[in-house]
Amino acid sequence: MKNHSTRVLRFAQAGLLGAFAAHAAIAATTMPEFAQYDVNKDGAVSLEEFSARGGKEDAFRAGDANGDGMLSPDEFGKAVAGAKNPMKGDPK
Ligand SMILES: [Ca+2]
Ligand SMILES: [Ca+2]
């Protein structure tokens, strides 16, 4: 009885870990190193932080959808994706 419930628990944990790892892998590809760019940890990447890591101002402007001069994690992902994609133009 005890053995059985332990095994089920382990299985559940493995499943959770697997799901978490997959999610982390997806997050890593969509927004690489956001935390590394966000030096002051205010949850947004400024142009200074972006260019300090070698980011191009063009990519920063392209990613800054709301034009507040800061990249949110979401905007950061777009800026990096745009920088990696040599094709300019509207992806839609
Ligand atoms: Ca910051
Ligand atoms: Ca912004």
pLDDT tens digits for range 37-83: 999 999 999 999 999 999 999 999 999 999 999 999 999 999 988 77
Alpha carbon distance 51, 70 (integer Å): 12
pLDDT tens, residue by residue, 13-46: 676 666 666 665 555 554 458 999 999 999 999 9
Give me Rg for the CA atoms of the chain: 19
CA of 42 to the centre of ligand 2 (A): 13
CA of 54 to the centre of ligand 1 (A): 15
Tokens of 17: 């870990």
pTM above 0.85, yes or no: no
Which are the contacts of 67, defined by CB distance < 8 A and separation ≥ 6?
Answer: none
CA of 56 to the centre of ligand 1 (A): 16
Is residue 79 classed exposed, middle or buried when 0-12, 13-18 and 19+ CB atoms within 10 A define those classes? buried
CA of 72 to the centre of ligand 2 (A): 6
CA of 7 to the centre of ligand 2 (A): 47
Q: Which ligand is nearest to the CA of 72?
A: 2
CA of 45 to the centre of ligand 2 (A): 9
**What confidence score (pLDDT) does residue 58 get?**
95
